[in-house]
Structure 1
């Protein structure tokens, strides 16, 4: 009697376990292009309806070293220019802070007031006029510019490697600990001085080293 009852309970338990396992395994796994990004979705807050290929950030006329970043966005082949790609950028001010501006939307204050957008034309080119960001105070992170990309044929935005600056004394130690992923290509740029302003070129290859990127 007891043995029969035990067997029945065991069989019911096994059936339930297998049923639950089956439901779990059958669930589709949602794969987000780029694997997700903390804060990239904030690019849509305050985004203007018309975005140009050249943008002047609020930092351009503030204290600090003026910097112009230019580049070309390419398709997956690394040769064909990609048009209508929106690049959202944000970075620290001359003191290393993401300082908000009066009246900013509360949701984007953590990105600071030096933020903006560019959109590539048929030639895939873009240019950002800003200032060179300062590293975080009392931190070992090198100075950097965050980038988030939204291309027409991909459902969601994704981040590429941050723009870092060749010659930054913090860069080597940081890369030893956190090797770059080269998402979209290398983010390290060579800076040159022209008419008192720093200029750098940063090209992006769409989909390069981006997880779950759709094959074409």
Structure 2
């Protein structure tokens, strides 16, 4: 009987560990809500065609050295609509997701392009207009990046110098080309995966 108790404890521990692992797997990042064959280096956010303030975001993703193009990096964006609302839907498994989202996977030159639209923000909210980003390099865990912000945001002058300096690092500088705003933004991968609380 004495010899069987450690075995029972081991089985209980393994069972609890597997259950915890399964629960964590169910809370996967939305960056994984795609299949590999759907991805290219160009992605389009739903409703792009019907929105008046169209936006093209393009650039190159580089390795941490800032020089080597990063191939096969998955970049995921999601955003509010033009009124600042996050439209939420459910998939066939009843999993909730933000509707205005898209993925890209960089080509061998590290290039990516998104077609989307200018996001809005709540009028009473003091946050900048933004497009959220999650990134995943091959063989590395995914991590959140600072959002894309916009150089024409009227709230920029209200930020502290420190906040403004941070926002500038992921700022999109908009130019008008025909009926579309265009922003070029290169991205450098982090040397180590950032840890968030």
TM-score when scaled to structure 1? 0.69
Larger Rg: 1
Show the counterpart of 1:211.
Answer: 194
Q: Number of aligned residue pairs: give it.
A: 168
Aligned pairs for 1:1-216 (under 5 A) are: 41-45=29-33, 47-50=34-37, 51-101=39-89, 103=91, 106-109=94-97, 112-154=98-140, 156-174=141-159, 176=161, 178=163, 181=166, 186-207=169-190, 211=194
* Root mean square deviation, CA, Å: 2.5
CA contact (8 A) 1:72 1:202 kept: yes
Aligned CA distance change for structure 1 residues 175 and 89 (closer, same or farther; 3 Å): farther
Aligned CA distance change for structure 1 residues 93 and 106 (closer, same or farther; 3 Å): farther
Aligned CA distance change for structure 1 residues 175 and 131 (closer, same or farther; 3 Å): farther
| Unaligned stretches of 5+ residues in structure 1 | 1-38
Aligned CA distance change for structure 1 residues 86 and 194 (closer, same or farther; 3 Å): same
Whose strand proportion is higher, 1 or 2? 2
CA contact (8 A) 1:42 1:108 kept: no
CA contact (8 A) 2:143 2:194 kept: no
TM-score when scaled to structure 2? 0.76
CA distance in 1, matches of 2:94, 2:48: 23
SS of 1:172's partner is helix
